[in-house]
Structure 1
Amino acid sequence: MTMAQTPFIQGHRGFRGLYPENTLLAFEQALKAGVQVLEMDVCISADGQVVVSHEPYMNSQYSTKPDGKPVEKSEEKNFNLYQMIYAEIKKFDTGKRGNSQFPEQIAAEAHKPLLSEVLALGEAYRKKYLRDIYYNIEIKSVEAEYGISQPKTVEEFSEKVWSIIRYFVKPSFLILQSFDFNVLKYWNKAMVEGRFPSEIQLSALVSRKSPENTIKNLGFTPAIYSPNYQSLSPEYIVFCHKNGMKVVPWTVNDAESIERLKEIGVDAVITDYPNRVPHYLNPVKK
């Protein structure tokens, strides 16, 4: 499969360093800043909607209940997105408290959007500015949570996600990533069988697994090897490129590290702060 070269910077959860993560505001501001790859996470609601959210529950760090009270750490799992219809999910605010882990992040009213809304935003931007926009969509799946905070099978989860993507995005602009190798195996099988387009780039998310073991565990060579940037070595990059894989480490937040990774040959980086390396962005000329 021929892999198209995508831009170097991927906006993690939109633009988490400055805006509430995985919200329409964050994705819109990323696009305005010149980010051409929007990275996001998806979960499933009780009524089968594909929701953009990093956790399948309300995170106490920044979520506010409909009554205006903060979500407490002890009650996070009570707000299981897979047990809530989207109309309920939307009533929770995920931006107005800010996020103490990101002191530069603005506090702004926001909520968890649908994947369809994020893709519609990106595609409208593409048409308006004649700009290539890519999407790196992570299926948030954990084997121990099958049937608890997500669908019982990766097949069901994957098909729901694909049913939304297919109506908005050309497959050559899609990266599908996951830490759950069962998800990637399902997508690869569907691509081999011709049920999903072969242009989709599958990305294996790993913490410390070597690229060699990644291929071994998957049973196929993914388009992208996506490790924690701190576990990445120049030898890994050489191995990946020899085996036809791109290297896209996560989540790199200081300019010096981004430049160092560029120098040793990574193909892209995922970052909360695209603004820290503006020379890699492609903002619209006003």
Structure 2
Amino acid sequence: MSELSEIPQPVLAGHRGFKAKYPENTILSYDAATDNGCDVVETDLHISTDKKIVIAHDVDTTRVFGETHLVNEESYDDVLSKLRTLREPHLPMPTFREILIWCREKSEKTGRNIQLMLDIKKDCEPKLLMELLLNDLKEVGPSIEYWHSKLIFGMWDSSYYYKEMDPFRIINIALDFEVSKKVVAEVKSKGGVVSAISIFSMILFNDSMFKEMYKFCDENNLKIWFWTINLKKEANDAVRLCKLPSGKSLLAGLITDDPVAASAKQPEALGISYNLSLFFRRHLYVGFLFLVHRKFNLTAVINLFKYLGLL
């Protein structure tokens, strides 16, 4: 038996749906992701001025919709609902309530437990977000308890933790494992439990950082999600590296733009161009963390990453 065959193939989460092929964060993209093997759809939350939770990655709508608005400074009913994606077939920005309805109906239709991984953006006001979210769950139904196994709360820092999240799974989303250690401890001090870390996949290719994270997660009963994995080769790397001596795995799953590529039967035949790209990305990641740890002002770099859709 091969080493990989001893571990179940990882759970796949569609990153904003099937982002590689369809307009991101649209119902079409979510449908395509789940139809191509994703049991989880990762999505992004903001709050509009008319107090609706809306689904968009960027706070600035320019990249996806071609018109410049700030999501948290516009009304959904008056402005945001009228936008259409630049990518065909030119679809609207959904609300959180609409994707809850989609998730419930898709689960019923397929007989699967389709889940939503919520990336709570930092421009959301935590208390208001929780109030609006719980209200949407009640309105969509059939009960809040129904959603306990279907929602994964993803937060970048512990200020978004509320006791009402305890029946759900809570994960920390991070570029930097040092931040994750802090968030896990802070949520624990408030009486909550972080069940997993969702971390930038370049940590897989930094041996010392990965080993430290592996040890911490093993000791603290934490699972790991990696974003963003779009190659079968890198999916295999994640499965192999997260294997525990017991034969179990620390891997919660893989967040992917392309579930077809990430779940292919055979890894890609990758050559020197991939190796050069990996070398560059790995060193860029290490350099970025070096500057972060030394408290350099990286606002411009972070804004560039956001504009490119990387954060």
Is TM-score (shorter-chain normalized) higher than 0.5?
Answer: yes
Q: Which letter does structure 1 place at the counterpart of 2:166? A: S
Bigger Cα displacement from structure 2, 208-217 vs 270-279: 208-217
Structure 1 spans left out of the alignment, 5+ residues: 65-70, 99-106, 143-149, 191-195, 281-286
Q: Partner residue of 1:135?
A: 116
Alignment identity in percent? 22
Q: CA deviation at 1:279?
A: 5.8
2:154–2:173 contact (8 Å) kept in structure 1: yes
Q: Partner residue of 2:135?
A: 163
Instruction: State the alpha-carbon separation in 1 of the partners of residues 109 and 81 from structure 2.
Output: 28
Instruction: State the alpha-carbon separation in 1 of the partners of residues 49 and 165 from structure 2.
Output: 28
Q: CA deviation at 1:218?
A: 4.2
State yes or no: 1:201 paired with 2:173. Answer: no
Q: Partner residue of 2:182?
A: 213
1:7–1:37 contact (8 Å) kept in structure 2: no
Aligned partner of residue 237 in structure 2, secondary structure = helix
Q: Partner residue of 1:240?
A: 217
Q: Partner residue of 1:228?
A: 200
Q: CA deviation at 1:243?
A: 0.6
Bigger Cα displacement from structure 2, 249-258 vs 227-236: 227-236
State yes or no: 1:20 paired with 2:10. Answer: no
Structure with the higher helix share, 1 or 2 = 2
Alpha-carbon spacing, 1:263–1:119, altered in 2? closer, same or farther (3 Å): same
Aligned partner of residue 136 in structure 2, secondary structure = helix
Q: Which has the larger radius of gyration?
A: 2
- Of 49, 53, 57 in structure 1, the residue corresponding to residue 60 of structure 2 is 57
Q: Deviations over 1:112-160 (max 9, x none)?
A: 1011111211211111221111110111114xxxxxxx4xx41112221
Instruction: State the alpha-carbon separation in 2 of the partners of residues 6 and 201 from structure 1.
Output: 21
Q: CA deviation at 1:57?
A: 2.8
Instruction: State the alpha-carbon separation in 1 of the partners of residues 10 and 240 from structure 2.
Output: 16
Q: Partner residue of 1:111?
A: 92
Q: Which letter does structure 2 place at the counterpart of 1:38? A: V
Q: Which letter does structure 2 place at the counterpart of 1:176? A: F
Query: Number of residues paired by the alignment?
Result: 235
- Of 69, 80, 83 in structure 2, the residue corresponding to residue 89 of structure 1 is 80
Q: CA deviation at 1:219?
A: 4.6
Give RMSD over aligned pairs: 2.3
Q: CA deviation at 1:212?
A: 3.1
Q: Which letter does structure 1 place at the counterpart of 2:28? A: L
TM value normalised by structure 1: 0.75
TM value normalised by structure 2: 0.69
Structure 2 spans left out of the alignment, 5+ residues: 1-7, 205-209, 243-250, 266-311
Alpha-carbon spacing, 1:245–1:6, altered in 2? closer, same or farther (3 Å): farther
